[in-house]
Amino acid sequence: MAVFVLDIHGKALMPCTEKRARLLLDRGRARVHRLLPMVVRLVDRQAGDCEFQPLRLKIDPGSKTTGLALVREVAAVDALTGEVQLGVAALNLLELVHRGRQISEAMTARRQMRRRRRSNLRYRAPRFLNRGGDKTGRLAPSLQHRVDTTMAWVRRIQRWAPVRAISSELVRFDMQALQNPEIEGIEYQQGTLFGYELREYLLEKWGRQCAYCGARNLPLQIEHIRARAHGGSNRASNLTLACACCNQKKAARSVEDFLAQDHKRLNAILAQAQKPLRDAAAVNATRRALANALQATGLPVELASGGRTKFNRSALGVPKTHALDAACVGQVHSIENWDRPTLALKAMGRGSYQRTRLDKFGFPRGYLMRSKRVHDFATGDMVRADVPKGLKAGVHWGRVAVRASGNFNIQSHQAGVSAVVQGIHYRHCRIVQRNDGYGYFLNPANHTKRDQVRPKASDASHPALYLPGMNAEVSRAL
């Protein structure tokens, strides 16, 4: 991953490689400004002395996870046609994991407890039409959270890198209509992107697997649940995905006949066929609000469709991830350096406002601490604990959960495995980074051999600090 760089006054400079950041730190020319994502601050350079390359931030909005990709635009000339083609080189790949579902469930629980207090627990006059303010354009808290967290990271990346433009998914368009404005009817749909929007919808709806046998990681075909020969339509509710083998075996038979021996799978298919996509509805409800917020940044904003993203990803042979989808948003003819680790940003919140825990009947069953800090530590802080002796002797690094007794729990995440070390005394802990409402870990699925960092022999006793993508010297300095 590229390391963000700030000048002596805190202004954004061009990101650099991990090797260059290590040299700057070793020579005393830079200081660690932030650990994750890695940001260093130079002590001998100003922004006016530097040259900048065109950087673009690309966004792939999602209901559960939003992909972010910071790319450098590269212009290449086709040797045959002489046409200038726009390519990108990936610098940082990020995946922002939202907590909209938790917010929705918390709002539901609070509404149920409030309803009980107003009914048979104690009388309180119900509220009626006394909520002030204009509700036009208002989003539910779980939906507004997706917009706010995405824009929060857009503003952060703007502070750390000289972003000059933004690309985001929003609308659906067909290149055939741009080439021939007089096209109409069904011919309009059969353009360059014909079938990509519907296929992407079906892939999300059916979990990217064959509906009849559950096979994954193989080409899937669009299949009619009720065959056209028996009156079936082309509506999305009548379409599913099947592998070539199951599609040929089913042919024009009814799904009840084809799955007569597998009633469980049959019932699941019939239920899923009419089930709406809640996640798709959330994205559809927030896409316009997110686009307006991006345009309010004052940067040029390119809006593209999900069909164009899938078309680019398929043409360039890039694997399917949220971050790589973001890198393929908009006009892209080539992509470089996409095989790099992805930093996951999981929205964890800043603690619970409710300090009383209730049982299923609405009565108190426990109380939380009234203060969120214990010995200047708060849940969510990233700490380093050096335990000199005992069963937990060694160095532990990760996210801390505080306890009133002073014995904390530290959760580390490395190589895709989470481990919790309990009972670490606060005297052994040192804060590395304050809680900002997010948890950080690198996605091991995107790691390559050249991204792995091997610790030095002198640091073999500190394996928890060697996260992939973080060099040993920077880790030891923190």
DSSP 316-350: HT----HHHHHHTSSS-SEEES--S-EEEEEE--S
Q: Which amino acid is at 25?
A: L
Q: Which residue has the tokens 């980074």?
A: 433
pLDDT for 20: 95
- 454 or 355, greater pLDDT: 355
pLDDT for 110: 81
pLDDT band at 453 (very low <50, low <70, confident <90, very high): very low
Question: Domain 371-436 belongs to what architecture?
Answer: Roll (2.30)
Q: Residue 190, CB half-sphere, CA atoms under 13 Å: how many? A: 5
Mean pLDDT across the stretch 177-197? 51
- 129 or 382, greater pLDDT: 382
| Among 144-148, 291-295, 439-443, the least confident range | 439-443
CB-based contact 57:154 (threshold 8 Å): yes
Q: Residue 410: which residues within 8 A CB-CB, separation 6 or more?
A: 383, 385, 396, 397, 398, 399, 400, 401, 420, 421, 424, 429
DSSP 272-304: HHT---HHHHHHHHHHHHHHHHHHTTSS-EEEE
Tell whether the model's pLDDT for residue 54 goes beyond 50. yes
Number of H helices, E strands in the chain: 13, 23
- The chain-wide mean pLDDT, for the chain, equals 82
| Among 193-197, 424-428, 449-453, the least confident range | 449-453
Tell whether the model's pLDDT for residue 250 goes beyond 60. yes
Q: Where are the domains of the chain?
A: 371-436
pLDDT for 465: 31
| Among 266-275, 410-419, 443-452, the least confident range | 443-452
Residue 459: count of CB within 10 angstroms of its CB: 15
pLDDT for 38: 93
Mean pLDDT across the stretch 320-336? 93
Tell whether the model's pLDDT for residue 46 goes beyond 90. no
pLDDT digits (tens, 9 = 90+) for 70-125: 999 998 777 777 787 889 999 999 999 999 989 998 888 888 777 777 776 666 66
pLDDT for 123: 64
pLDDT for 456: 38
Distance CA(12)–CA(41), nearest Å, equals 9
Distance CA(43)–CA(37), nearest Å, equals 20
Q: Which amino acid is at 357?
A: R
Per the document, the length of the chain is: 478
pLDDT band at 177 (very low <50, low <70, confident <90, very high): very low
Q: Residue 265, CB half-sphere, CA atoms under 13 Å: how many? A: 14
Tell whether the model's pLDDT for residue 190 goes beyond 60. no
Taking CA atoms, 341 is separated from 409, 411, 443, in Å, by 27, 21, 6
Q: Measuring CA to CA, which residue among 381, 412, 415, 375 is closest to residue 394?
A: 412
pLDDT for 78: 74
CB-based contact 15:161 (threshold 8 Å): yes
The percentage of residues in the chain with a pLDDT greater than 70, rounded to a whole number, is 81
pTM score, whole prediction: 0.75
| Among 135-139, 187-191, 334-338, 346-350, the least confident range | 187-191
DSSP 76-137: EE-TTT--EEEEEEEEEEEEEE--HHHHHHHHHHHHHHHHHIIIIIS--PPP-S---S--TT
* H or E element at residue 255: helix 255-258
Tell whether the model's pLDDT for residue 146 goes beyond 90. yes
- 460 or 47, greater pLDDT: 47
Tell whether the model's pLDDT for residue 235 goes beyond 70. yes
